[in-house]
Structure 1
Amino acid sequence: MTGRDPLAPVTANVTGTRPVPDTRPGRLVLGITLFRPRPDQVERVRTLASAGFAAVIAFDNGGLPAGTADQLARAGVTLLSAGTNLGIAEALNRIAAAARAAGAGTLLLLDQDAEPPADLAAALLAARDRLREAGIPAAVVGPAPGPAQGHKAPAYPPRPGAPERDGLAPVQFLATSGSLIDLDAFARVGPFRGDFFIDGVELEWCFRAWSLGYGCYLARAVAIPHRVGGGTIRAFGITMPRQPLFRMGTYLRNAVYAWRLPHVPLRWKLAQAAYLPLQAGLYWADSGFRPAVLLRLLAAARDGALGRLGPPRGLPEVAPRDRTRALPRDLP
């Protein structure tokens, strides 16, 4: 690592690259996380840069070729990078910090796979405003999960004891991609857990928000497709994403660790205690009952119980920035 400020925009030696512009309080900034994006995903980001947001901030978690960085910079995207894979949680935190420093009041988060409907930002802002008018503090408002062929859509369990209002359903948690974050609430709730790295990040944060009096709400009137994993595993009435082993291990580790957190509801902990062994067993069966897979899953559960968090084993390597072509995408 050099002494360079990781929050400073990456200019990639492009003339005319714009830093995050000054924005008036309450303006909306778009934040996008990147990891080895395909050319079509890069083009989607470039299109979003012209959609009228106060600013578009992307965080490169590794694998973005220099030529692609140039293209994004010319399109007006402020590109942040630390030169290594910091994980989704830290990428989101740095985007939020940059947006907050620029004076933004709200932050719409997307990942590189997201295909948001044209009215997503307007619909979520309107939903946030309805909650404010009703005196309901909300940390995040997100769209309903839409179908994506070959992928399991996430399910957002309802928040017990919190009433639905005007098509806005209180839920235990929401996926970060597609969600509108209130940056004042974010400052009070605190950042996403960087040591969770990638899986369970939004779940822990939303439980923390609820514990501090800030709700998480699903706007039924707008939807966005979600793609998790490389297909699905189905057995015994259970459907779960098929993911690389390091992702499954990180999910299991973080879920076990969450049992230690006081702001995670007991009801959720008990449900997970029953559900996690089933998921691990199905994943192992899907691998062909390979002993090495079982040992990795058991080690992940042990690490969660012992609080051994941080970057997971088996993480794909970050490609050098001077590569001239887009690389295959390893993080589904």
Structure 2
Amino acid sequence: MGAFVEADPKRATCAVIVTYHPDPAELPEVIARIAPQAHRVFIIDNASPPAHLQQALPAPLPDGVDVIRSATNDGLGRAYNRGAQLARQAGCRFVLLMDQDSVVAPDLVARLVDAHAQLKADARVGAVGAAFIDAHTGHPAPFVRIGFPLNRKIPAPERGCVECDFLISSGSLIELDVLDAVGGMDEALFIDNVDLEWSFRARASGYRLFGVGDARMTHRIGHTVRRLPLGLGDVVVHAPVRLYYMMRNRVLLYGRPQTPRVWIAQDLPRLALKLARLSLFVQPRRRNFRAMVSGLLDGLRGRSGPCTRIL
């Protein structure tokens, strides 16, 4: 990358961290890493118990960091939208979306803003996203171009950018004018696939998405990674309620006009494989199966929003 085009990346950027029962051993480092890089940091907490949140937050909070507590768990999409509105009020140009377990490199914001400025000279940039190391495995995650029968996984380059078809929300830098044009995150999805849906909508609106190889962070996918028997590989383990949302929301995306048909074609076998593997080999097997089937049925019924029943 060349010299920064944006005169002051920090002044231009507001970071939004969404928390829900955050890890007290992890959140202080997440905040400490991003606070020096952003004009403001808004922690949007989705109804964590007050004592738990207080234990997880550093004391005192760094300058420019504010905590906004919600009385109810409003989901990831609504929290990001609320944070984007606060970023507008703070006079920032960009919003950086972050999860509570994403630990960023000291120059992440500068790298992303620089890449955005250079890419924008030749492209309609929807978002730029960080390359990340999976905290469970220590392996770098690739960027993805959708294909059939399999997606094409592109290793994050040491330097430079790669175009991709979607970005995970955490580590994504989005210009607020683009959010105005594309629309905010879909709050009805509540949590899983919120980033996928927005990526599809942005690309359908003519914007392009890019992964930035030298903007780096560590990030955790799921609770744990488990090795399956019979040489069936590794599987990311999630709680049953998350499996419900994963299944429900992918079915909801199948019916969205902005969703690429090729993604649907290659996701259907993955849906079946996920259902089989997590029902047969990962505890609690019966609860996993019930949660996933419940999600599939609710997706077919067109139900969205928070799941209000016990799974």
Q: CA deviation at 1:40?
A: 2.9
Tell me if the contact between 1:151 and 1:231 (Cα under 8 Å) persists in the aligned partners.
Answer: no
Partner of 1:79: 67
Q: Secondary structure at the match of 1:145?
A: strand
Q: CA deviation at 1:138?
A: 1.1
Q: Does 1:33 align with 2:28?
A: no
User: Do residues 138 (structure 1) and 125 (structure 2) align?
Assistant: yes
Relative to 1, partners in 2 of residues 1:70 and 1:116: Cα closer, same or farther, differing over 3 Å? closer
For normalisation by structure 1, the TM-score amounts to 0.78
CA offset digits 1:170-208 (Å, max 9, x no partner): 111111111111111011111111111110010000000
Q: RMSD in angstroms over aligned alpha carbons?
A: 3.0
| Superposed CA offset, 1:93-124 (max 9, x none) | 10011101222110112211111011111110
Map 1:69-218 → 2, pairs under 5 A: 71=59, 75-134=63-122, 136-150=123-137, 155-158=142-145, 167-218=160-211
More deviation in 194-203 or 231-240? Answer: 231-240
CA gap 1:56/1:139 in 2 versus in 1, 3 angstroms: same
In proportion to residue count, which structure has more strand?
A: 2
1:115, 1:25 → 2: CA distance? 17
CA distance in 1, matches of 2:26, 2:283: 33
The structure with higher relative contact order (CA 8 Å, sep 6+) is: 1
| Aligned partner (choices 290, 293, 315) of residue 288 of structure 2 | 293
Structure 2 alignment gaps of length 5 or more: 1-7, 148-156
Q: Structure 1, residues 219-253: CA drift from partner, whole Å, max 9, x if none?
A: 12233222111212445655431000000110011
221-230 or 196-205: bigger deviation: 221-230
Task: Name stretches of at least 5 consecutive residues in structure 1 with no aligned partner.
Answer: 1-22, 317-332
Note closer, same or farther for the CA distance 1:204–1:289 as it changes in structure 2 (3 Å cut). Answer: same
**Offset of residue 278 of structure 1:** 0.4
TM-score between both structures, scaled by the size of structure 2: 0.83
Moved more, 183-192 or 230-239: 230-239
Amino acid at match of 1:53: A
Bigger drift between 233-242 and 244-253 goes to 233-242
* 1:259-274 correspondence to structure 2 within 5 Å: 259-274=254-269
Counterpart Cα distance in 2 of 1:315 and 1:86: 17
| Percent identical residues | 27
The 1:72/1:189 distance shift into structure 2, 3 A limit, reads farther
Q: Would the alpha carbon gap of residues 38 and 293 (structure 1) be closer, same or farther in structure 2, given more than 3 Å must change? A: closer
